[in-house]
Structure formats: C-alpha cells, structure tokens
Amino acid sequence: MERFSEELGRAGCEVSLSLQPHVTGRWDRARLEQALTHLLSNAAKFGARRPIRLLVSQGGGTARLVVEDQGIGVSPEALERIFGRFERAVPTQEYGGLGLGLFLTRQIVEAHGGSIHVTSRPGEGATFVLELPASPPGSYMAGPAPWPHPPADSHPT
C-alpha cells in the first residue's frame, strides 16, 4: 500500500484497510504484490475520487484478499472476459491500458493454486476476490516457493 499511495493520491481514492493478523501461506511475495498492484491500479483508474476497500482474511485453509471499488463497474457480459489476454471492458481511448493486468493477475493466482473472481454491476463498482491456499502460522516457510528464484549472486551459465 505504501508503494502505491502516490498513485492512489493522484486518483483521489481513499483506501480503507481491514487486515486480519497472521494470514500465512507459501506464496511468491513479488508476484502477489504484482497482482495486488493490478487490482489497486484498476480500482483507482475506474473508481477515481471514490473510496476503495481492501480486506485480507484467512479461514478454512484459505487466505482471501478483497479489493472493492465504487467505480464504473463491469457489464455482466464482460465479467469473465476481462480476465482474458488483451481483453477490456471499456474503450482504450477512454481509460488506456493494454488489457493484460487482470490476465496476469489470474495467471499469478492460479499458479499459486488459487482463484479470482469478480462481482459487479455497471455504475456500482466492482469487487475482486482473490483466494489462495493458506497454511497455519509458522508453517509457511516449509517447502519450496511456487517460483524459485536463484540466489542474488548466481549467474546463468
């Protein structure tokens, strides 16, 4: 949130956070930050000057991230299509973008064994729900990460 605060400020979006402590899992932090950045960027773009809610919780073996805006919303026929590569629910000339953010977000979430869905109605905003397999506190460090990264000092041969 701190890294994204400037963009949210320019968009005039106030963000309220509801964070359950100790939400844990075996996830690639950089990729999840990328997914969250796509969701927050869309919320700021399509809900400029309106509040955004971000909720993080865990229960029943699932971690949940919810990003809710009060923007222009998504038409029913575009709800699934917006997760496709180069797909958009609005004209490019009005809002810009390549139509890759939600596609990449879905790819990241599914690579972690999770899912993402959206509920929305035109003119009433959108709610994106990202669900990931969670783990009990303290166990998230066991085992390999979903995307192993080479050590910083290693070089490909």
Tens-place pLDDT, residues 10-56 = 999 999 999 999 999 999 999 999 999 999 999 999 888 999 999 99
Looking at residue 135, its pLDDT comes to: 82
In angstroms, the CA 85 to CA 82 distance is 8
pLDDT class of 2 with cuts at 50, 70, 90: confident
In angstroms, the CA 69 to CA 54 distance is 9
Average pLDDT over residues 94-98: 63
Which one is predicted more confidently, 90 or 102? 102
DSSP secondary structure, 62-130, as one string: EEEEEEEE-SS---GGGTTGGGSTT--SS-HHHH---S-HHHHHHHHHHHTT-EEEEEE-TTS-EEEEE
Looking at residue 21, its pLDDT comes to: 94
The model's pTM is 0.81
